[in-house]
Amino acid sequence: MDGYQMMEMLSEEFHRICLGSSKKRSALYSTGCEKVNGCTNSDDVNVDVNGVQEFSPGQGQVLPILEKVIHLSTTVQELKRQHSTLSGEMSGLKTSFFADTEVINALQHLSEDHERLRLKFLKVSSERKQLYNEVVELKGNIRVFCRCRPLNMVEIGNGLGSVIEFDPSQDHELQVNCSDSSKKQFKFDHVFKPEDNQEAVFAQTKPVVVSVLDGYNVCIFAYGQTGTGKTFTMEGTEGNRGVNYRTLEELFRAVEDRRGIMRYELSVSILEVYNEKIKDLLVDSSDEPPKKLEIKQAAEGTQEVPGLVEIRVYSTAEVWEILRSGSRARSVGSTSANELSSRSHCLLRVTVKGENILDGHTTRSHLWMVDLAGSERVGRIDVEGDRLKESQFINKSLSALGDVISALASKTAHVPYRNSKLTHMLQSSLGGDCKTLMFVQVSPSAADLGETLCSLNFASRVRGIENGPARKQADVSELFKYKQMVEKLKQEEKETRKLQDNLQSLQLKLGAREHAYKSLQEKVWTNLLYGYSLSTSVSWRC
């Protein structure tokens, strides 16, 4: 039974008592009692006191009863109004109480769902990276791709045919028709035919270069005879871009895909090794002599060049301008083998700093993309003077590279990295924990058969090198980052405590509202009981 029903019951009891009392006095006050009954059966009590004065001498006893009836009826109406008000407040408190409870429950569910999804994402991301790198490592830390250029118009005009045969069903084998009519077979990780375009080349290269974003050092270098397309493969042209530009384009795309999870900084440096001297290709040295640069051993074991210009890049458009600037500054010259022959080893370095936003882990890795100068025998290229000196330095550095490859392949204890600036610069890429990819560029022309066999034999030795699995490169500033992580955790702990305090405050407010709700209920019942007691008192007096 609610408060309103109790009020109605008390009102009916009051009328019943008054009606009984009036019947007992009907003989003496018939007219007055009828008016009394009329007053008690109406919602709005309006008693005509002047009419009652027409009663006989007993009217003095009727008047006090009428006054009590008026007062009690007014009290009943006031209690009804209070009951209605309290019922509305109680309904509002119920709605507010359940709404607050639902909000807290919803927040708790959302927090649990977020934590579960975060853990699931970390697990899937870790598995993806592990599987991705396992695929590359199963194919070897040093992978070798062979790319054969097409016959040029001069070779076709001279009636020279191709000495290289490709199996259409195999993309990792080729055969060379030797001068003694024998055939020599070579196997590599992938063989690109003359008709394969730049997109096909980069499609096979992409899995290696993306590893730099996961914290691995990566090195890609092109080796081969002058005029076989090394620079075309690495740099390309504005309308047919090569590995360098496509790599940076892919890195920016991957960085965008990982936004919100990882934070990256990409910077670019370009240098060349010319006549055993290191030259920064991003420095304008027209007004002053170039600064002497030397190779130093970094704290993490990699090779660094202090003073080398490093430009932060944010878009592929910036990258293209930097690559064009470096390419224009590179040393080139004319030989009988190539009108614009690269007379230096060009090294493009991309430094990637990564930070995992979720756990604060940081990495610092390098991606080297190297366009080596052409390998050829001095007797074949008909050079003299400065060009002869350049060729001697080129051959010396490439010979040193061959010695390093031979030492690594035979697992010799001493590897002569310091015999040239080139091998010293590539030390961590060739014999360290780096993921290395080599392009061996060859000519199909019968006139270049000897150089082609030399290049393919060299590439086969490179493919036999086993360096073991590559390792992620932690940032040397990791300690500082860890300190920042500690401060971040402390801040998060403060935020957690603040949230806990807010939760306790909400709980206290809910408790206060529950207490108010109970107090209102008690007040309603108290008023109902008070009204009931008043009606009972009136009935006894009547």
Which residues line the annotated binding site for ATP?
224-231
**Residue 270's beta-bridge partner residues?**
348
* Contact by Cβ (8 Å): 428, 210: no
**Could you identify the residue written with the tokens 């006549």?**
275
The 3-state secondary structure of 388-451 reads HHHHHHHHHHHHHHHHHHHHHHCCCCCCCHHHCHHHHHCHHHHHCCCEEEEEEEECCEHHHHHH
Provide the token pair at 8.
């109605």
What are the two backbone dihedrals, phi and then psi, of residue 166, each rounded to the nearest 5 degrees? Answer: -120, 145
**Could you identify the residue written with the tokens 């890429």?**
429
Tell me which residue of 290, 287, 288, 286 sits closest to 272, measured CA to CA.
290
CB contact burial 497-530 (16+ within 10 A = b; e otherwise): eeeeeeeeeeeeeeeeeeeebeebeeebeebbee
State how far the Cα of 191 lies from the Cα of 128, in Å rounded to an integer.
27
Which region holds residue 323: left if phi is over 0, alpha if psi is between -120 and 50, else beta?
A: alpha
Q: Can you say which residues are annotated as belonging to the binding site? A: 224-231
* Contact by Cβ (8 Å): 163, 450: no
Tell me which residue of 442, 489, 490 sits closest to 176, measured CA to CA.
442
* Contact by Cβ (8 Å): 272, 337: no
